[in-house]
């Protein structure tokens, strides 16, 4: 499973459609200050399901939409598409039928985000799980923000453990356990209600 292309449209400074082909080996992005290098990494994190505006250096999620410039009006939506080469068939189960996966996230002003995998509507959770099970994703330690190394050095042990868990690919399991616990607690509440009803009928 290998990222092969990133397409941006209306995302931050990338107002026009921009295709970034990710070749084999190491990819470097160079350019003058403020040209959008960090925006590219943020687009990658965003399409993988990042939902904290602060991680996108914004106050709200809609701040990722091109806000306008002297010569261009603001856009109404932003879209990022990530193409994944799955020739090696290492995608998590449920996604392994195709040799190519395209994950698309679009945000429209006042309408929120929606996600698609290979053209089919999916939930944010499905996208987050796909990447968590593949040991990558919006919180992957492979994506290093400016200032993150010093944050990690000063981090509490619990935060450091989370980084190791992401790298070991078990964060998806924690999410599933959390969801199972919520379902269990809802079932217990229902059982208590049923007991009350039986008691009233008896
Ligand atoms: P540096 O080398 O200084 O870290 P960089 O190449 O990483 O810079 P970025 O921080 O990715 O650059 O890009 C910053 C640019 O993106 C700024 O010019 C900023 O105005 C622009 N920008 C950010 N959000 C938006 C937005 N929503 N609409 C339009 N432009 C935006």
Q: Characterise 54 by phi-psi region: left (phi > 0), alpha (psi -120 to 50), beta (else).
A: alpha
Q: What is the pLDDT of residues 161-179, one digit of tens each?
A: 887 887 777 777 888 899 8
Does the complex come out with an ipTM higher than 0.90?
yes
CA of 123 to the centre of ligand 1 (A): 28
Separation between Cα atoms, residue 108 and residue 66, nearest integer Å: 11
Please provide the DSSP assignment of the chain as one string. Answer: -EEEEEEEESBTTB-S-EEEE--SS------STTSSHHHHHHHHHHHTT---GGGGTSSSGGGGB----SSSPPPSEEEEEEEEE-TT--SPTTSTT-SEEEEEEEEETTTEEEEEETTEEE-HHHHHHHHHHTT-STT-TTS--TTHHHHHHT--HHHHHHHHHHHHT-HHHHHHHHHHHHHHHHHHHHHHHHHHHHHHH-
Task: State whether CATH 3.40.50.300 applies to domain 2-138.
Answer: yes
Task: Report the pLDDT averaged over residues 139-145.
Answer: 70
Domain ranges of the chain: 2-138
CA of 42 to the centre of ligand 1 (A): 10
CA of 81 to the centre of ligand 1 (A): 19
- Substitution candidate for ligand 1 out of 16, 33, 35 with most atoms within 8 A of CB: 35
Report whether 37 belongs to an annotated binding site.
Answer: yes
Neighbouring CB atoms inside 10 A of 189's CB total 10
pTM value > 0.90 = no
Ligand 1 atom 21 nearest Cα: 13
What pLDDT band is residue 138 in, cutting at 50, 70 and 90? low
For residue 151, what pLDDT is reported?
A: 80
Q: Is 122 in the pocket of ligand 1 (CB under 6 A)?
A: no
């Amino acid at each position: 499973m290998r990222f092969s292309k990133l397409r941006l449209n209306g995302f931050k400074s990338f107002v026009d459609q921009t295709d970034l082909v990710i070749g084999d080996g190491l990819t470097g992005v160079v350019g003058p200050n403020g040209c959008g290098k960090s925006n590219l990494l943020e687009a990658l994190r965003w399409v993988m399901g990042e939902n904290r505006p602060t991680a996108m250096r914004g106050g709200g999620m809609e701040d990722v939409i091109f806000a306008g410039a002297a010569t261009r009006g603001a856009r109404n939506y932003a879209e990022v598409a990530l193409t994944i080469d799955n020739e090696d068939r290492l995608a998590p189960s449920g996604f392994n039928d195709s040799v190519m996966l395209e994950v698309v996230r679009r945000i429209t002003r006042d309408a929120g985000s929606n996600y698609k995998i290979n053209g089919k509507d999916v939930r944010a959770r499905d996208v987050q799980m796909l990447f968590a099970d593949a040991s990558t994703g919006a919180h992957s330690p492979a994506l290093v923000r400016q200032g993150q190394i010093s944050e990690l050095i000063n981090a509490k042990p619990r935060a450091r453990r989370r980084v190791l868990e992401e790298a070991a690919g078990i964060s998806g399991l924690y999410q599933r356990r959390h969801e199972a616990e919520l379902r269990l607690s809802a079932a217990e509440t229902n059982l208590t209600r049923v007991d009350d009803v039986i008691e009233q009928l008896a």
